[in-house]
């Protein structure tokens, strides 16, 4: 992990910053110490923003930076009003791409760790003014950047339209692409109402497999804190996740030590905050399925699930899933976010979905133009990869050997 020196650089407000009640100053926090010192103010701002999600919490992003910051450099933009109050935060970092181009990207993006619902953070009502201040700050050319990539953002983010509009005014090329479709389930008031929304087949399967399990095993639903310590919990999750995907020929993400260490630390932090929800289904004392979920605000974020394929005939995943839905409803949550991925079970239970997008903005310098052309060629190569000779080589590149 890089250890950049501490810089806090304040520029005077942009003379053409309009659309807000007062001029705004933009500062850069580019050291872990500066990042750490923002913790309390970050929490207050996030809770009073439309971007509020567990993946934008200081705890998530700081831990991500610790384990995945790599050769990047923090470039967090702190937007203050004339009285010094923080009105917005752009949680950015810089990395080199292709060895010579400077890329600005959101902290938490582009790694094995799946960070969803990333965005700029702004106090409610200040979104446009914060976006304009950040964009105009970046366009002063005081800092070298060739591409700004904002990924894993909701398609209805209030920042997207402003940033694209400013890009057009400054004659910058931008590209908005759909990254994923994230299904979610909005909870009604009662469990019976939710069951009634499911298909007759889904309701029948839940009852049938639960009855089979009760007949053949001593069935328990246990939270992790009442069963294992942290290390053992991670190891059980690793084993069950690998079992559930091994028949597809994949290697589970928990097999990666950095990934395990990241989540072990997140589990500790989130448990202390009351945001962690991990539950196991046990048959005769043996863990056979799990759900790894974050409870934040009025939403559940379903991060990982897995099961022992030796118990597939009992549909242990479906049984545990129904338990998790009922239990999290009783805790006062209002929605279950399935996050990215096209697993079939999500569509059996979800009743809505939202687009997640990636916005790329290219600087209009000669190097930014060159990167845009390379980026366009790369996208075309990827889209036609399966029809090209040497497809295995192309797929290897797509897997991450070569990234833009």
Q: How many CB atoms lie within 10 A of CB 271?
A: 15
| Residue carrying the six token digits 């790369």 | 378
Q: What is the pTM of this model?
A: 0.86
Shared domain check, 225 and 113: no
Q: Are residues 226 and 130 in the same domain?
A: no
Residue 400 has pLDDT above 60, yes or no: no
Domain harbouring 84, CATH code: 3.40.630.30
125: in domain:
yes
Query: Using an 8 Å Cβ cutoff, are 295 and 274 in contact?
Result: yes
Considering only residues 394 and 36, tell me which one the structure prediction assigns the higher pLDDT: 36
Give yes or no: residues 169 and 198 share one domain.
no
Cβ-proximal residues to 121 (8 Å cutoff; 6+ apart), any chain? 42, 45, 46, 49, 51, 56, 88, 89, 90, 91
Q: Are residues 287 and 211 in the same domain?
A: yes
The percent of residues above 90 in pLDDT, for the chain, comes to: 64
Average pLDDT of the residues of the chain: 85
How many structural domains is the chain composed of? Answer: 2
> Are 50 and 156 contacting, i.e. CB atoms less than 8 angstroms apart?
no
* 184-219 pLDDT, tens digit each: 999 999 999 999 999 999 999 999 999 999 999 999
pLDDT at 139 over 50: yes
Answer yes or no: is 136 within a domain. Answer: yes
pLDDT computed for residue 229 by the predictor = 75
Residue 98 predicted with pLDDT over 80: no
The more confidently predicted of residues 98 and 148 is 148
pLDDT of residue 2: 37
Query: What's the rounded Cα separation, in Å, for the pair 281 and 320?
Result: 6
Please report which confidence band the pLDDT of residue 271 belongs to, taking 50, 70 and 90 as the band edges. Answer: very high
In a domain, 382, yes or no: no
Which one is predicted more confidently, 144 or 249?
A: 144
Q: Would residue 295 count as lying in a domain?
A: yes
Whether 380 is covered by a domain: the verdict is no
282 falls in which pLDDT band (50, 70, 90)? Answer: very high
pLDDT digits (tens, 9 = 90+) for 212-264: 999 999 999 998 765 667 788 888 999 999 888 866 667 778 889 999 999 99
For range 342-356, the mean pLDDT: 90
In a domain, 401, yes or no: no
Residues 48 and 172 in one domain: yes
**Pair (172, 199) in one structural domain:** no
More confident of the two residues 342 and 373: 342
Residue 200: which domain range?
188-333
Residue 255: predicted pLDDT:
87
Q: What are phi and psi of 233, to 5 degrees?
A: -60, -50
pLDDT in tens, 22-52: 569 999 999 999 999 999 999 999 999 999 9
**What pLDDT, on a 0 to 100 scale, did the predictor assign at position 20?**
44
How, if at all, do strands 147-154 and 101-106 pair? parallel
């Amino acid at each position: 992990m890089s250890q950049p020196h501490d810089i806090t650089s304040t520029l005077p407000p942009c003379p053409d910053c309009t659309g807000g009640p007062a001029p705004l100053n933009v500062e850069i926090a580019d050291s872990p110490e500066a990042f750490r010192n923002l913790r309390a103010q970050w929490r207050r701002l996030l809770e009073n923003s439309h971007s509020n999600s567990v993946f934008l919490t200081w705890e998530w992003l700081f831990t991500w930076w610790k384990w995945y910051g790599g050769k990047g450099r923090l470039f967090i933009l702190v937007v203050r009003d004339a009285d010094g109050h923080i009105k917005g935060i752009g949680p950015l970092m810089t990395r080199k791409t292709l060895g010579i181009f400077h890329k600005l990207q959101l902290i938490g993006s582009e790694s094995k760790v799946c960070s969803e619902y990333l965005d700029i953070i702004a106090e409610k009502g200040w979104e446009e003014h914060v976006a304009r201040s950040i964009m105009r700050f970046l366009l002063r050319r005081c800092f070298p950047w060739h591409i700004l990539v904002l990924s894993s953002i909701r398609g209805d983010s209030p920042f997207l339209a402003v940033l694209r509009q400013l890009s057009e005014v400054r004659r910058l090329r931008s590209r908005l692409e759909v990254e994923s479709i994230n299904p979610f389930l909005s909870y009604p008031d009662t469990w019976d109402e939710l069951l009634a929304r499911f298909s007759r087949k889904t309701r029948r399967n839940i009852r049938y497999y639960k009855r089979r399990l009760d007949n053949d095993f001593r069935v328990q639903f246990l939270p992790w804190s009442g069963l294992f310590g942290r290390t053992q919990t991670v190891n059980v999750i690793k084993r069950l996740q690998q079992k559930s995907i091994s028949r597809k020929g994949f290697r589970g993400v928990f097999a990666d030590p950095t990934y395990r260490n990241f989540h072990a630390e997140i589990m500790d932090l989130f448990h202390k905050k009351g945001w962690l929800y991990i539950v196991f289904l046990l048959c005769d004392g043996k863990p056979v399925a799990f759900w790894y979920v974050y409870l934040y605000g009025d939403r559940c974020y379903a991060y990982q699930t897995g099961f022992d394929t030796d118990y597939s005939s009992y549909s242990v995943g479906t049984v545990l899933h129904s338990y998790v839905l009922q239990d999290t409803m009783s805790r006062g949550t209002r929605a279950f976010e399935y996050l990215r991925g096209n697993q079939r079970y999500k569509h059996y239970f979800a009743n809505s979905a939202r687009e997640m997008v990636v916005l790329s903005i290219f600087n209009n310098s000669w190097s930014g133009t060159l990167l845009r052309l390379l980026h366009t060629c790369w996208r075309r190569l990827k889209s036609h990869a399966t029809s090209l000779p040497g497809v295995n080589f192309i797929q290897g590149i797509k897997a991450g050997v070569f990234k833009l």
